[in-house]
Chains A and B, each alone.
Chain A
Protein backbone atom coordinates (compact mmCIF):
# COMPACT_ATOMS: atom_id res chain seq x y z
CA UNK A 1 0.00 0.00 0.00
CA UNK A 2 1.22 3.46 -0.81
CA UNK A 3 2.17 6.14 1.68
CA UNK A 4 0.81 9.65 1.95
CA UNK A 5 4.05 11.47 2.68
CA UNK A 6 3.95 13.47 -0.53
CA UNK A 7 0.46 14.78 0.10
CA UNK A 8 0.18 17.22 2.98
CA UNK A 9 -2.84 17.50 5.20
CA UNK A 10 -4.38 20.90 5.79
CA UNK A 11 -2.72 21.04 9.23
CA UNK A 12 0.68 20.18 7.77
CA UNK A 13 0.38 22.60 4.85
CA UNK A 14 -0.89 25.35 7.14
CA UNK A 15 2.15 25.01 9.38
CA UNK A 16 4.47 25.24 6.39
CA UNK A 17 2.59 28.19 4.90
CA UNK A 18 2.57 30.07 8.20
CA UNK A 19 6.33 29.59 8.50
CA UNK A 20 6.66 30.69 4.87
CA UNK A 21 8.18 27.35 3.94
CA UNK A 22 5.41 26.53 1.46
CA UNK A 23 4.05 28.85 -1.17
CA UNK A 24 0.25 28.84 -1.66
CA UNK A 25 0.93 29.35 -5.34
CA UNK A 26 3.14 26.28 -5.54
CA UNK A 27 0.65 24.25 -3.52
CA UNK A 28 -2.20 25.35 -5.81
CA UNK A 29 -0.12 24.54 -8.90
CA UNK A 30 0.59 21.09 -7.49
CA UNK A 31 -3.11 20.43 -6.92
CA UNK A 32 -4.03 21.70 -10.39
CA UNK A 33 -1.38 19.45 -11.91
CA UNK A 34 -2.80 16.48 -10.01
CA UNK A 35 -6.29 17.34 -11.25
CA UNK A 36 -5.00 17.49 -14.82
CA UNK A 37 -3.24 14.16 -14.43
CA UNK A 38 -5.80 12.17 -12.45
CA UNK A 39 -9.29 13.54 -12.66
CA UNK A 40 -10.13 11.94 -15.97
CA UNK A 41 -9.98 8.64 -14.05
CA UNK A 42 -12.30 9.65 -11.21
CA UNK A 43 -14.45 12.50 -12.62
CA UNK A 44 -14.55 14.34 -9.31
CA UNK A 45 -14.71 17.87 -10.78
CA UNK A 46 -17.57 19.36 -12.78
CA UNK A 47 -15.72 22.64 -13.22
CA UNK A 48 -12.21 23.87 -12.52
CA UNK A 49 -11.00 27.46 -12.39
CA UNK A 50 -7.20 27.28 -12.67
CA UNK A 51 -6.52 30.91 -13.58
CA UNK A 52 -8.77 32.31 -10.87
CA UNK A 53 -7.38 29.88 -8.32
CA UNK A 54 -3.80 30.85 -9.12
CA UNK A 55 -4.74 34.52 -8.82
CA UNK A 56 -6.32 33.86 -5.42
CA UNK A 57 -3.24 31.91 -4.36
CA UNK A 58 -0.96 34.74 -5.43
CA UNK A 59 -3.06 37.21 -3.45
CA UNK A 60 -2.95 34.92 -0.42
CA UNK A 61 0.78 34.59 -0.71
CA UNK A 62 1.19 38.34 -0.90
CA UNK A 63 -0.96 38.81 2.21
CA UNK A 64 1.00 36.21 4.14
CA UNK A 65 4.35 37.64 3.10
CA UNK A 66 3.21 41.06 4.26
CA UNK A 67 2.35 39.66 7.70
CA UNK A 68 -1.40 39.29 7.32
CA UNK A 69 -1.76 35.55 7.92
CA UNK A 70 -5.46 34.72 8.41
CA UNK A 71 -5.17 31.27 9.94
CA UNK A 72 -4.83 27.59 9.04
CA UNK A 73 -6.96 27.77 5.89
CA UNK A 74 -5.04 30.65 4.36
CA UNK A 75 -3.70 29.50 1.01
CA UNK A 76 -5.28 26.00 1.24
CA UNK A 77 -6.78 24.62 -2.02
CA UNK A 78 -10.29 23.26 -1.63
CA UNK A 79 -13.35 22.33 -3.69
CA UNK A 80 -17.07 22.81 -3.13
CA UNK A 81 -19.82 20.29 -3.77
CA UNK A 82 -21.78 21.68 -6.69
CA UNK A 83 -24.86 22.49 -4.64
CA UNK A 84 -23.03 25.33 -2.85
CA UNK A 85 -23.81 28.61 -4.55
CA UNK A 86 -20.78 30.45 -5.87
CA UNK A 87 -21.27 34.00 -7.11
CA UNK A 88 -20.43 34.19 -10.81
CA UNK A 89 -19.47 30.52 -10.96
CA UNK A 90 -21.83 27.91 -12.44
CA UNK A 91 -23.66 25.86 -9.80
CA UNK A 92 -25.55 22.95 -11.32
CA UNK A 93 -26.38 20.39 -8.63
CA UNK A 94 -25.01 17.98 -11.27
CA UNK A 95 -28.30 18.39 -13.15
CA UNK A 96 -29.50 19.34 -16.59
CA UNK A 97 -32.15 21.39 -14.77
CA UNK A 98 -29.53 23.90 -13.56
CA UNK A 99 -26.96 23.46 -16.31
CA UNK A 100 -26.79 27.22 -16.98
CA UNK A 101 -27.33 28.40 -13.41
CA UNK A 102 -24.87 31.08 -12.31
CA UNK A 103 -25.75 32.36 -8.82
CA UNK A 104 -25.47 36.01 -7.97
CA UNK A 105 -24.41 35.36 -4.40
CA UNK A 106 -22.20 32.96 -2.51
CA UNK A 107 -23.64 30.49 -0.04
CA UNK A 108 -22.79 31.56 3.49
CA UNK A 109 -20.32 28.71 3.81
CA UNK A 110 -18.75 29.54 0.44
CA UNK A 111 -18.16 33.05 1.77
CA UNK A 112 -16.87 31.89 5.16
CA UNK A 113 -14.35 29.52 3.57
CA UNK A 114 -13.19 32.26 1.20
CA UNK A 115 -12.82 34.71 4.07
CA UNK A 116 -10.69 32.14 5.89
CA UNK A 117 -8.32 32.33 2.92
CA UNK A 118 -9.05 29.09 1.05
CA UNK A 119 -8.33 28.80 -2.65
CA UNK A 120 -11.32 27.51 -4.62
CA UNK A 121 -10.14 25.09 -7.30
CA UNK A 122 -13.58 24.27 -8.63
CA UNK A 123 -16.97 22.65 -8.19
CA UNK A 124 -17.30 18.98 -7.37
CA UNK A 125 -19.51 16.15 -8.53
CA UNK A 126 -22.55 15.18 -6.51
CA UNK A 127 -25.55 12.96 -6.98
CA UNK A 128 -28.17 15.00 -8.83
CA UNK A 129 -29.57 17.51 -6.34
CA UNK A 130 -27.77 15.51 -3.63
CA UNK A 131 -30.22 12.64 -4.18
CA UNK A 132 -30.14 10.93 -7.57
CA UNK A 133 -27.05 8.86 -8.13
CA UNK A 134 -24.81 7.38 -9.16
CA UNK A 135 -26.38 8.20 -12.51
CA UNK A 136 -25.12 7.90 -16.07
CA UNK A 137 -27.94 9.89 -17.68
CA UNK A 138 -26.81 13.32 -16.46
CA UNK A 139 -24.72 15.96 -18.24
CA UNK A 140 -21.63 14.74 -16.35
CA UNK A 141 -20.60 11.23 -15.32
CA UNK A 142 -20.64 10.18 -11.67
CA UNK A 143 -17.45 10.43 -9.63
CA UNK A 144 -15.46 7.24 -9.27
CA UNK A 145 -13.66 5.82 -6.28
CA UNK A 146 -9.90 6.53 -6.34
CA UNK A 147 -9.22 3.22 -4.57
CA UNK A 148 -10.74 1.45 -7.60
CA UNK A 149 -12.51 3.50 -10.28
CA UNK A 150 -14.84 0.60 -11.04
CA UNK A 151 -16.32 1.10 -7.60
CA UNK A 152 -18.87 3.50 -6.14
CA UNK A 153 -17.76 6.58 -4.20
CA UNK A 154 -20.80 6.69 -1.97
CA UNK A 155 -22.88 9.80 -2.15
CA UNK A 156 -23.99 12.33 -2.51
CA UNK A 157 -20.83 14.30 -1.64
CA UNK A 158 -19.08 11.98 -4.05
CA UNK A 159 -16.77 14.41 -5.83
CA UNK A 160 -15.50 15.91 -2.60
CA UNK A 161 -14.62 12.54 -1.09
CA UNK A 162 -13.01 11.28 -4.29
CA UNK A 163 -10.97 14.46 -4.79
CA UNK A 164 -9.73 14.48 -1.19
CA UNK A 165 -8.78 10.80 -1.32
CA UNK A 166 -6.91 11.30 -4.60
CA UNK A 167 -5.07 14.31 -3.21
CA UNK A 168 -6.56 16.75 -5.72
CA UNK A 169 -7.76 19.06 -2.94
CA UNK A 170 -6.90 19.21 0.74
CA UNK A 171 -10.51 19.47 1.85
CA UNK A 172 -13.96 20.47 0.73
CA UNK A 173 -17.60 20.86 1.50
CA UNK A 174 -20.42 18.36 1.58
CA UNK A 175 -24.01 18.05 2.62
CA UNK A 176 -25.74 15.24 4.46
CA UNK A 177 -29.48 14.52 4.41
CA UNK A 178 -29.36 10.77 4.98
CA UNK A 179 -25.63 10.06 5.04
CA UNK A 180 -24.28 12.08 2.12
CA UNK A 181 -21.13 13.21 3.91
CA UNK A 182 -20.51 9.97 5.79
CA UNK A 183 -21.04 7.35 3.09
CA UNK A 184 -18.59 8.86 0.59
CA UNK A 185 -16.14 9.48 3.42
CA UNK A 186 -16.32 5.81 4.36
CA UNK A 187 -16.18 4.43 0.82
CA UNK A 188 -13.32 6.74 -0.21
CA UNK A 189 -11.43 6.41 3.07
CA UNK A 190 -11.49 10.06 4.11
CA UNK A 191 -12.97 11.77 7.16
CA UNK A 192 -16.25 13.67 7.05
CA UNK A 193 -18.39 15.17 9.75
CA UNK A 194 -22.08 16.00 9.67
CA UNK A 195 -22.34 18.63 12.39
CA UNK A 196 -25.39 19.18 14.56
CA UNK A 197 -28.50 20.42 12.77
CA UNK A 198 -28.28 24.19 12.98
CA UNK A 199 -24.53 24.37 13.58
CA UNK A 200 -23.61 25.37 10.01
CA UNK A 201 -25.68 27.68 7.82
CA UNK A 202 -27.41 26.15 4.82
CA UNK A 203 -28.28 29.45 3.19
CA UNK A 204 -27.25 29.35 -0.44
CA UNK A 205 -26.93 25.56 -0.46
CA UNK A 206 -29.48 23.98 -2.80
CA UNK A 207 -31.88 22.14 -0.48
CA UNK A 208 -32.99 18.53 -0.61
CA UNK A 209 -35.07 18.10 2.57
CA UNK A 210 -35.46 21.10 4.82
CA UNK A 211 -35.49 19.40 8.19
CA UNK A 212 -32.81 16.81 7.42
CA UNK A 213 -30.20 18.79 5.46
CA UNK A 214 -26.84 19.39 7.14
CA UNK A 215 -23.69 21.04 5.77
CA UNK A 216 -20.19 19.98 6.78
CA UNK A 217 -16.60 19.31 5.72
CA UNK A 218 -14.68 16.37 4.31
CA UNK A 219 -10.90 16.08 4.51
CA UNK A 220 -8.12 13.55 4.86
CA UNK A 221 -7.96 13.70 8.66
CA UNK A 222 -10.17 14.54 11.61
CA UNK A 223 -7.87 17.43 12.50
CA UNK A 224 -8.43 18.87 9.02
CA UNK A 225 -12.20 18.51 9.45
CA UNK A 226 -11.88 20.40 12.72
CA UNK A 227 -10.08 23.22 10.94
CA UNK A 228 -12.67 23.40 8.17
CA UNK A 229 -15.64 23.13 10.54
CA UNK A 230 -14.23 25.98 12.60
CA UNK A 231 -14.50 28.24 9.57
CA UNK A 232 -17.94 26.99 8.49
CA UNK A 233 -19.76 26.91 11.84
CA UNK A 234 -21.70 29.73 13.43
CA UNK A 235 -25.07 31.36 13.74
CA UNK A 236 -26.77 32.68 10.61
CA UNK A 237 -29.84 34.82 11.33
CA UNK A 238 -31.03 34.21 7.77
CA UNK A 239 -31.14 30.41 8.07
CA UNK A 240 -34.29 29.63 10.05
CA UNK A 241 -32.73 26.43 11.38
CA UNK A 242 -29.49 28.06 12.49
CA UNK A 243 -28.69 27.79 16.20
CA UNK A 244 -27.32 30.68 18.22
CA UNK A 245 -24.87 28.60 20.20
CA UNK A 246 -21.20 29.54 20.67
CA UNK A 247 -18.69 27.62 18.56
CA UNK A 248 -15.82 26.19 20.63
CA UNK A 249 -12.22 25.87 19.46
CA UNK A 250 -12.43 22.42 17.87
CA UNK A 251 -8.75 21.97 17.17
CA UNK A 252 -7.74 22.96 20.69
CA UNK A 253 -9.89 20.16 22.10
CA UNK A 254 -8.06 17.44 20.15
CA UNK A 255 -5.95 15.12 22.29
CA UNK A 256 -4.06 11.89 21.66
CA UNK A 257 -5.97 9.89 24.28
CA UNK A 258 -9.56 9.04 25.20
CA UNK A 259 -9.32 9.09 28.98
CA UNK A 260 -12.68 9.94 30.48
CA UNK A 261 -14.62 9.29 27.27
CA UNK A 262 -17.61 6.94 27.53
CA UNK A 263 -18.25 5.15 24.24
CA UNK A 264 -21.67 3.59 23.66
CA UNK A 265 -21.64 0.83 21.06
CA UNK A 266 -24.92 0.44 19.17
CA UNK A 267 -24.11 -3.11 18.26
CA UNK A 268 -27.62 -4.15 17.27
CA UNK A 269 -27.64 -1.57 14.46
CA UNK A 270 -24.93 -3.43 12.56
CA UNK A 271 -25.09 -6.95 13.98
CA UNK A 272 -28.81 -7.74 13.83
CA UNK A 273 -30.91 -4.83 12.49
CA UNK A 274 -28.74 -4.56 9.40
CA UNK A 275 -25.97 -7.11 9.63
CA UNK A 276 -22.90 -5.76 7.92
CA UNK A 277 -20.11 -7.83 6.40
CA UNK A 278 -17.63 -9.80 8.48
CA UNK A 279 -14.72 -7.55 7.51
CA UNK A 280 -16.58 -4.45 8.59
CA UNK A 281 -17.57 -5.95 11.93
CA UNK A 282 -14.04 -7.14 12.59
CA UNK A 283 -12.70 -3.68 11.76
CA UNK A 284 -15.17 -2.02 14.13
CA UNK A 285 -14.30 -4.45 16.92
CA UNK A 286 -10.61 -3.74 16.38
CA UNK A 287 -11.30 -0.01 16.46
CA UNK A 288 -13.20 -0.37 19.72
CA UNK A 289 -10.19 -2.20 21.13
CA UNK A 290 -7.97 0.72 20.14
CA UNK A 291 -10.36 3.14 21.81
CA UNK A 292 -10.32 1.09 24.99
CA UNK A 293 -6.52 1.06 24.93
CA UNK A 294 -6.60 4.84 24.58
CA UNK A 295 -8.56 5.11 27.82
CA UNK A 296 -12.20 5.04 26.69
CA UNK A 297 -14.84 3.19 28.66
CA UNK A 298 -17.01 1.02 26.41
CA UNK A 299 -20.60 0.01 27.04
CA UNK A 300 -23.39 -1.32 24.88
CA UNK A 301 -26.36 0.88 24.06
CA UNK A 302 -29.75 -0.27 22.79
CA UNK A 303 -32.03 1.94 20.76
CA UNK A 304 -35.12 1.32 18.67
CA UNK A 305 -34.47 -0.84 15.62
CA UNK A 306 -32.49 0.82 12.89
CA UNK A 307 -35.46 0.34 10.56
CA UNK A 308 -37.58 2.68 12.71
CA UNK A 309 -35.06 5.46 12.21
CA UNK A 310 -34.78 4.60 8.54
CA UNK A 311 -38.51 4.62 7.87
CA UNK A 312 -38.93 7.87 9.75
CA UNK A 313 -36.09 9.60 7.94
CA UNK A 314 -36.91 8.39 4.46
CA UNK A 315 -40.60 9.26 4.60
CA UNK A 316 -39.67 12.76 5.77
CA UNK A 317 -37.04 12.95 3.04
CA UNK A 318 -39.46 11.87 0.29
CA UNK A 319 -42.11 14.35 1.42
CA UNK A 320 -39.76 17.29 1.83
CA UNK A 321 -37.82 16.66 -1.36
CA UNK A 322 -41.11 16.55 -3.30
CA UNK A 323 -42.00 19.88 -1.70
CA UNK A 324 -38.67 21.29 -2.92
CA UNK A 325 -38.93 19.91 -6.45
CA UNK A 326 -42.66 19.70 -7.19
CA UNK A 327 -42.91 22.81 -9.33
CA UNK A 328 -39.92 21.93 -11.49
CA UNK A 329 -40.91 18.26 -11.71
CA UNK A 330 -44.34 19.21 -13.00
CA UNK A 331 -42.75 21.15 -15.84
CA UNK A 332 -39.62 19.15 -16.63
CA UNK A 333 -40.02 15.68 -15.16
CA UNK A 334 -38.00 13.95 -17.84
CA UNK A 335 -35.17 16.49 -17.67
CA UNK A 336 -34.24 15.07 -14.28
CA UNK A 337 -32.12 11.94 -14.25
CA UNK A 338 -34.05 8.71 -13.88
CA UNK A 339 -32.76 7.94 -10.41
CA UNK A 340 -33.56 11.41 -9.06
CA UNK A 341 -37.07 11.61 -10.48
CA UNK A 342 -37.93 8.06 -9.50
CA UNK A 343 -36.94 8.74 -5.89
CA UNK A 344 -38.43 12.19 -5.44
CA UNK A 345 -41.74 11.35 -7.10
CA UNK A 346 -42.46 8.95 -4.25
CA UNK A 347 -43.12 12.03 -2.14
CA UNK A 348 -45.96 13.01 -4.46
CA UNK A 349 -47.82 9.86 -3.50
CA UNK A 350 -47.53 10.30 0.25
CA UNK A 351 -50.37 11.77 2.25
CA UNK A 352 -50.12 14.54 4.79
CA UNK A 353 -50.91 11.92 7.43
CA UNK A 354 -47.86 9.89 6.40
CA UNK A 355 -45.65 12.94 6.86
CA UNK A 356 -47.19 13.96 10.16
CA UNK A 357 -46.87 10.46 11.55
CA UNK A 358 -43.21 10.39 10.53
CA UNK A 359 -42.68 13.66 12.39
CA UNK A 360 -44.40 12.23 15.45
CA UNK A 361 -42.15 9.19 15.38
CA UNK A 362 -39.19 11.51 14.96
CA UNK A 363 -40.01 13.22 18.25
CA UNK A 364 -40.35 9.86 19.92
CA UNK A 365 -36.98 8.67 18.57
CA UNK A 366 -35.25 11.92 19.48
CA UNK A 367 -36.40 11.58 23.08
CA UNK A 368 -35.18 7.99 23.15
CA UNK A 369 -31.79 9.05 21.79
CA UNK A 370 -31.53 11.89 24.28
CA UNK A 371 -32.14 9.44 27.11
CA UNK A 372 -29.58 6.96 25.76
CA UNK A 373 -26.92 9.66 25.43
CA UNK A 374 -27.13 10.60 29.10
CA UNK A 375 -24.71 7.87 30.10
CA UNK A 376 -22.29 8.09 27.19
CA UNK A 377 -20.31 10.78 25.34
CA UNK A 378 -20.37 9.24 21.89
CA UNK A 379 -22.02 6.38 20.04
CA UNK A 380 -20.09 4.10 17.72
CA UNK A 381 -21.72 2.11 14.93
CA UNK A 382 -21.19 1.22 11.30
CA UNK A 383 -21.39 3.65 8.39
CA UNK A 384 -21.95 1.31 5.47
CA UNK A 385 -22.80 -2.38 5.13
CA UNK A 386 -19.53 -3.26 3.39
CA UNK A 387 -16.72 -1.75 1.35
CA UNK A 388 -17.67 0.21 -1.77
CA UNK A 389 -19.74 -1.86 -4.22
CA UNK A 390 -19.02 -1.82 -7.90
CA UNK A 391 -20.82 1.00 -9.69
CA UNK A 392 -22.74 -1.51 -11.78
CA UNK A 393 -24.00 -3.28 -8.64
CA UNK A 394 -25.97 -0.24 -7.46
CA UNK A 395 -29.76 -0.18 -7.66
CA UNK A 396 -32.01 2.81 -7.39
CA UNK A 397 -33.68 1.99 -4.11
CA UNK A 398 -31.13 0.08 -2.09
CA UNK A 399 -30.09 3.05 0.03
CA UNK A 400 -33.63 3.14 1.43
CA UNK A 401 -32.94 -0.25 2.88
CA UNK A 402 -29.52 0.53 4.32
CA UNK A 403 -30.27 3.21 6.88
CA UNK A 404 -27.11 2.96 9.00
CA UNK A 405 -26.56 6.72 8.89
CA UNK A 406 -30.14 7.98 8.96
CA UNK A 407 -30.60 7.85 12.77
CA UNK A 408 -28.43 10.91 13.20
CA UNK A 409 -30.22 12.89 10.50
CA UNK A 410 -33.50 12.11 12.23
CA UNK A 411 -32.16 13.31 15.58
CA UNK A 412 -29.89 16.03 14.19
CA UNK A 413 -26.94 15.12 16.40
CA UNK A 414 -23.36 15.28 15.03
CA UNK A 415 -21.94 12.19 13.35
CA UNK A 416 -18.63 11.50 11.65
CA UNK A 417 -17.15 8.79 9.46
CA UNK A 418 -13.52 7.78 9.87
CA UNK A 419 -11.60 5.01 8.19
CA UNK A 420 -11.03 1.91 10.32
CA UNK A 421 -9.42 -0.49 7.89
CA UNK A 422 -9.02 -1.81 4.40
CA UNK A 423 -10.94 -4.72 2.98
CA UNK A 424 -9.40 -7.71 1.25
CA UNK A 425 -10.25 -5.92 -2.01
CA UNK A 426 -8.10 -2.97 -0.92
CA UNK A 427 -11.07 -0.69 -0.33
CA UNK A 428 -11.62 1.43 2.81
CA UNK A 429 -13.83 0.36 5.70
CA UNK A 430 -15.48 2.96 7.88
CA UNK A 431 -16.63 3.65 11.40
CA UNK A 432 -19.34 6.05 12.55
CA UNK A 433 -18.95 8.20 15.67
CA UNK A 434 -21.96 10.25 16.83
CA UNK A 435 -22.11 12.74 19.66
CA UNK A 436 -24.51 14.82 21.69
CA UNK A 437 -26.06 17.86 20.02
CA UNK A 438 -23.54 20.67 19.58
CA UNK A 439 -20.73 18.55 20.97
CA UNK A 440 -18.85 18.12 17.71
CA UNK A 441 -15.67 18.68 19.71
CA UNK A 442 -16.07 15.35 21.50
CA UNK A 443 -16.74 13.51 18.23
CA UNK A 444 -13.65 15.09 16.70
CA UNK A 445 -11.58 14.24 19.76
CA UNK A 446 -12.50 10.56 19.50
CA UNK A 447 -11.81 10.44 15.76
CA UNK A 448 -8.50 12.26 16.12
CA UNK A 449 -7.15 10.05 18.89
CA UNK A 450 -8.20 6.96 16.95
CA UNK A 451 -6.50 8.19 13.79
CA UNK A 452 -3.27 8.97 15.64
CA UNK A 453 -3.21 5.45 17.06
CA UNK A 454 -3.80 3.65 13.75
CA UNK A 455 -1.99 3.53 10.39
CA UNK A 456 -4.90 4.29 8.09
CA UNK A 457 -4.09 7.97 7.48
CA UNK A 458 -0.72 7.06 6.02
CA UNK A 459 -2.31 4.97 3.27
CA UNK A 460 -3.49 6.71 0.10
CA UNK A 461 -5.15 5.09 -2.89
CA UNK A 462 -2.56 3.70 -5.32
CA UNK A 463 -3.95 6.04 -7.97
CA UNK A 464 -3.06 9.03 -5.79
CA UNK A 465 0.60 8.13 -5.64
CA UNK A 466 0.98 6.71 -9.12
Chain B
Protein backbone atom coordinates (compact mmCIF):
# COMPACT_ATOMS: atom_id res chain seq x y z
CA UNK B 1 0.00 0.00 0.00
CA UNK B 2 1.27 3.47 -0.85
CA UNK B 3 0.49 6.76 0.82
CA UNK B 4 0.45 9.99 -1.18
CA UNK B 5 1.86 11.99 1.70
CA UNK B 6 5.57 12.60 1.60
CA UNK B 7 7.12 11.53 4.84
CA UNK B 8 10.48 10.71 6.27
CA UNK B 9 12.08 7.65 4.80
CA UNK B 10 14.34 5.53 6.83
CA UNK B 11 17.71 5.04 5.24
CA UNK B 12 20.97 3.62 6.44
CA UNK B 13 21.95 7.17 7.35
CA UNK B 14 18.80 7.68 9.43
CA UNK B 15 15.55 9.51 8.81
CA UNK B 16 15.56 12.05 6.05
CA UNK B 17 13.08 13.89 3.94
CA UNK B 18 11.92 12.21 0.81
CA UNK B 19 9.61 13.40 -1.89
CA UNK B 20 8.72 9.84 -2.74
CA UNK B 21 5.54 8.17 -1.66
CA UNK B 22 5.60 6.38 1.63
CA UNK B 23 4.75 2.70 1.79
CA UNK B 24 3.27 0.93 4.75
CA UNK B 25 6.48 -1.05 5.05
CA UNK B 26 8.56 2.11 5.21
CA UNK B 27 6.16 3.64 7.69
CA UNK B 28 6.36 0.53 9.84
CA UNK B 29 10.15 0.80 9.92
CA UNK B 30 9.88 4.45 10.93
CA UNK B 31 7.51 3.63 13.76
CA UNK B 32 9.86 0.89 14.96
CA UNK B 33 12.84 3.18 14.64
CA UNK B 34 11.01 5.69 16.87
CA UNK B 35 10.76 2.89 19.42
CA UNK B 36 6.98 2.69 19.36
CA UNK B 37 5.71 -0.85 19.86
CA UNK B 38 2.59 -1.44 17.80
CA UNK B 39 0.97 -4.48 16.25
CA UNK B 40 0.74 -4.67 12.48
CA UNK B 41 -2.95 -3.78 12.66
CA UNK B 42 -2.33 -0.76 14.90
CA UNK B 43 0.52 0.41 12.68
CA UNK B 44 -1.75 0.17 9.66
CA UNK B 45 -4.44 2.14 11.49
CA UNK B 46 -1.95 4.85 12.45
CA UNK B 47 -0.67 4.96 8.88
CA UNK B 48 -4.20 5.57 7.62
CA UNK B 49 -5.09 8.11 10.32
CA UNK B 50 -2.13 10.45 10.11
CA UNK B 51 -1.66 10.68 6.36
CA UNK B 52 -3.37 14.06 6.15
CA UNK B 53 -1.43 15.45 9.11
CA UNK B 54 1.82 14.20 7.59
CA UNK B 55 1.00 16.00 4.40
CA UNK B 56 0.47 19.22 6.34
CA UNK B 57 3.71 18.73 8.29
CA UNK B 58 5.57 18.08 5.06
CA UNK B 59 4.27 21.33 3.59
CA UNK B 60 5.36 23.16 6.71
CA UNK B 61 8.95 21.91 6.52
CA UNK B 62 9.05 22.87 2.85
CA UNK B 63 7.72 26.33 3.61
CA UNK B 64 10.26 26.83 6.37
CA UNK B 65 13.15 25.82 4.12
CA UNK B 66 11.92 28.15 1.41
CA UNK B 67 11.62 31.14 3.73
CA UNK B 68 15.00 31.04 5.41
CA UNK B 69 17.29 33.90 4.63
CA UNK B 70 21.04 34.03 5.04
CA UNK B 71 20.46 36.38 7.94
CA UNK B 72 19.05 33.53 9.94
CA UNK B 73 22.33 31.61 9.80
CA UNK B 74 24.45 31.82 12.90
CA UNK B 75 27.62 33.72 11.99
CA UNK B 76 29.97 30.81 12.51
CA UNK B 77 28.23 28.51 10.05
CA UNK B 78 29.67 28.22 6.58
CA UNK B 79 27.25 29.58 4.01
CA UNK B 80 27.02 27.36 1.01
CA UNK B 81 26.84 29.32 -2.22
CA UNK B 82 23.21 29.70 -3.23
CA UNK B 83 21.92 27.61 -0.36
CA UNK B 84 18.73 28.41 1.49
CA UNK B 85 18.62 32.02 0.48
CA UNK B 86 15.09 33.11 -0.29
CA UNK B 87 15.87 36.80 0.10
Contacts and interface: CB of A to CB of B under 8 A. Distances in A.
DSSP class of B's interface residues: helix, strand, loop or mixed? helix
Interface in A37-67: none
B36 A329 contact: yes
Contact of B72 (A311, A360, A400): A360
A333 interface: yes
A401 B56 contact: yes
Interface in A299-338: 304, 307-308, 310-312, 314-315, 318, 326, 329-331, 333-334, 338
Given A307-B63, A342-B49, A345-B46, A364 B71 contact: yes
Contact of B64 (A311, A330, A331): A311
Interface string A262-287: 00000000000000000000000000
Given A315-B60, A357-B61, A333 B36 contact: yes
Contacts of B38: 333-334
A357 B50 contact: no
A461 to B, nearest CB: 33
Nearest to A367: B71
12 contacts: A308-B67, A310-B60, A330-B35, A333-B38, A348-B30, A350-B61, A351-B8, A351-B14, A351-B17, A354-B17, A361-B68, A364-B71
Residue of A304, A312, A360 most packed against chain B (CB within 10 A): A360
Query: What bracket does the count of chain B residues touching chain A fall in?
Result: 20 to 34
A346 B53 contact: yes
B77 to A, nearest CB: 10
A308 B36 contact: no
Given A304-B67, A311-B60, A364-B71, 12 more contacts: A315-B64, A329-B36, A333-B36, A338-B49, A349-B30, A349-B34, A349-B57, A354-B61, A363-B72, A364-B67, A364-B68, A397-B56
A357 B67 CA distance: 10
Contacts of A345: 34, 36, 46, 50
A358 interface: yes
Contacts of A318: 57
A343 interface: yes
Nearest to B49: A342
B57 A314 contact: yes
B42 A334 contact: yes
A396 interface: yes
A315 B64 CA distance: 9
Nearest to B62: A311
A343 B46 CA distance: 11
Contacts of A357: 61, 64-65, 68
Contacts of A400: 53, 56-57, 60
Contact of A348 (B34, B53, B59, B63): B34
A342 B17 CA distance: 19
A350 B8 contact: yes
A315 B56 CA distance: 10
7 shortest interchain CB distances as A-B pairs: A311-B60, A348-B34, A360-B72, A330-B35, A397-B53, A364-B72, A311-B63
Nearest to A354: B61
Contacts of B63: 307-308, 311
Contacts of B7: 349
Given A333-B37, A338-B49, A351-B15, A346 B54 contact: yes
Contacts of A304: 67
Given A308-B63, A311-B64, A360 B73 contact: yes
B16 interface: yes
Residue of B14, B16, B64 most packed against chain A (CB within 10 A): B64
Interface in B23-53: 30-31, 34-38, 42, 46, 49-50, 52-53
B53 A358 contact: no
Nearest to A396: B53
A106 B24 CA distance: 45
Contact of B69 (A329, A346, A354, A364): A364
Interface in A367-419: 367, 396-397, 400-401
Given A326-B35, A330-B37, A338-B49, A346 B61 contact: no
A161 to B, nearest CB: 25
A137 B73 CA distance: 44
A334 B43 CA distance: 11
A346 B17 CA distance: 13
B50 A342 contact: yes
Nearest to A330: B35
B23 to A, nearest CB: 14
